[in-house]
Structure 1
């Protein structure tokens, strides 16, 4: 696997295709998103990584400053911008009740999500899927992006419920104005 990682070393999705850069998800950047488990731009502990590489697939603690008045829902998206594909890999998509000011460790578990958390489909499945970069590919950046939406996301145009929509269909279809947003980047390398 290390050889494969080295061969793909110059191939990375990049940040251009992230939710953060979508025209419909633009807005002020005043939310501060933090974690007790890692600082912005710093390494993520192994416990937050995928089980098949020795982690626990435990979603990290996340906290944020209060969203602005009129926030109906929070949208959290976690993307790996260093995956050797055309677009970033979406590791998690979640709708959160804005009354909660944080998520404890494991709150994004597919089996037992925290109260006020609605897990949607990601590239990998529902719930949190921790880092598992290709061995030898170099550092991967996992961007946790939080958006304060003015109206709840219940349906996308057509008849597809949000629970069934794939991220690349759901995210561009969000029309609720973004009142505020913030992000936090964790790094992991094998």
Structure 2
């Protein structure tokens, strides 16, 4: 796999197609997102990586600065922007009750999410999926993006033929979220094999 990683080294999704750059998710950038497990731009501990590479698939602790008073719901999107694909891979997509205040480690688990957390479908599956970059591909950046929404994302089926929020693919769902976004912040963790 090291050879494959080296061959793909110049292929990276980049951040052009991240949730952060979707026009409907633009907004003020005053929210500070932090983790006690790693600093912004810092290396992510192996326990937060995928089980396939010896990790625990344990979502990290996340905390944020006070939210705007009219925040109805939080949207969390975790993307690998260095995956050798055309667009970043969504490693987690979740809706969070603003009253949660923060997320403890493991709160983004598919089977037992933390209080006030609704995990949605990601590129890989449901819930948090930790880093598992191709060996030898170099460092991968995992961008945790948090959006304070003024209107909750509708969780009920819409018109006939539409997919409910909890079953929609991320690239289908994200462009349909209407805001406005009251505030947003991001945190980047790095992992390399």
Could you say whether these structures have the same fold, taking a TM-score greater than 0.5 normalized by the shorter chain as the test? Answer: yes
Counterparts of 1:46 and 1:120, CA distance in 2: 24
Shift of 1:21: 0.3
What is the root-mean-square deviation in Å for CA atoms of aligned residues?
Answer: 1.0
Shift of residue 100, structure 1, vs aligned partner? 1.3
Question: Normalising by structure 1, what TM-score?
Answer: 0.98
| Equivalent position of 1:183 in the other structure | 186
State the partner residue of 1:162.
Answer: 165
What displacement does 1:157 show?
6.4
**TM-score, L = length of structure 2:** 0.96
In the aligned structure 1, how far is the partner of 2:141 from the partner of 2:64? 20
In the alignment, what sits opposite 1:69? 69
Spell out, residue by residue over 1:33-65, the C-alpha distance to the aligned partner (whole angstroms, 9 max, x if none).
000000000100000000010000000000001
Superposed counterparts of 1:83-162, under 5 Å = 83-155=83-155, 158=159, 159-162=162-165
Provide the residue aligned with 1:60 in structure 2: 60
Q: Does 1:18 align with 2:18?
A: yes
Distance in 2 of aligned mates of 1:101 and 1:38:
19
Equivalent residues of 1:153, 1:176 under 8 A apart: no
Matches of 1:70 and 1:34 in 2, distance apart?
A: 22
Once superposed, which parts of structure 1, at least 4 consecutive aligned residues long, lie more than 6 Å away?
A: none
* Cα shift readout 1:134-158 (whole Å, capped 9, x = no counterpart): 0000000000000000000015864
* Preserved CA contact (<8 Å) 2:141 2:191: yes
Q: State the secondary structure of the residue aligned to 1:24.
A: helix
Contact 1:37 1:60 in 2 (8 A): yes
Which position in structure 2 is the counterpart of 1:28?
Answer: 28
**In 1: Cα distance, 2:102 partner to 2:115 partner:** 11
Separation of aligned partners in 1, 2:190 and 2:149: 27
Measure the CA separation in 2 of the matches of 1:152 and 1:39.
29
Q: How far 1:176 sits from its partner (Å)?
A: 2.0
Distance of 2:40 and 2:110 partners within structure 1: 25
| Structure 1 unaligned blocks of 5 or more | none
Q: State how far apart, in whole Å, the 1-side matches of 2:72 and 2:58 are.
A: 27
The reply on whether 1:9 has 2:9 as its aligned counterpart is yes
Q: Is the 8 A contact 1:157 1:173 kept in 2?
A: no
Distance (Å, rounded) in 2 between the aligned partners of 1:30 and 1:82: 25
